[in-house]
Amino acid sequence: MEISLIRHGEAAATWSESADPGLSHLGQQQAEDAAEALQPYVDGDTLLFSSPLQRALETSVPLARLLHTDVIVEDVFREIPSPVPLAERQVWLRQFMQQQWVGQGDELIAWRAAALQRLLALTQPAVIFTHFLLINAVVGELLDRPETLCCWPANGSITRLRHNGTSLELIALGDQIQTTVN
């Protein structure tokens, strides 16, 4: 069974400007493009999940419309929790992305484990609209990589996984970027 992780489209604001921005005009186009690219991989049995954050929810809309289905909002697929106020989040994220999973606090380890457990609990093909660091957490675990940042999924990218009933494997990374996360 296949699971696709979709990084949300480009946000209309940076982390320092808004805790929960929607999509920019480009982000809306990326959402449309992702829906079109996913069509060969989805059918009526495919479940759609989204992080509760606005940019992920808005990214899910075009595919939900194409499939005439609802999106299930699950907190487990939200962006990484940070232990600092919004104004300090960007600096914290840059530091976090240079670290390894060993030594991370209980909250971050639990966040990663919860996402992986939820993916393993799926019993139907699924598309999950989520975030840069959640995709990194999952891919890093599947590739047995110690670093917190092991790939650079582009906005609207599609990372494909295979669920074989007891474990997950990476089929393909989505498009990658070479710039920083805003």
Quick one: three-class SS letters along the chain?
Answer: CEEEEEECCCECCCCCCCCCCCECHHHHHHHHHHHHHHHHHCCCCCEEEECCCHHHHHHHHHHHHHHCCCEEECHHHCCCCCCCCHHHHHHHHHHHCCCECCCCCHHHHHHHHHHHHHHHHCCCCEEEEECHHHHHHHHHHHCCCCECCCCCECCCCEEEEEECCCCEEEEECCCECCCCCC
Tell me if the pTM is above 0.75. Answer: yes
Closest C-alpha among 152, 158, 103 to residue 128: 158
pLDDT in tens, 95-132: 999 999 999 999 999 999 999 999 999 999 999 999 99
For the chain, domains (ranges, CATH) are 2-172 (3.40.50.1240)
Strand partners, 160: 4, 172
Supply the pLDDT for residue 179.
61
10-residue mean pLDDT profile of the chain (182 residues): values are 97 82 96 96 95 98 96 97 86 94 95 98 97 98 97 97 96 85 52
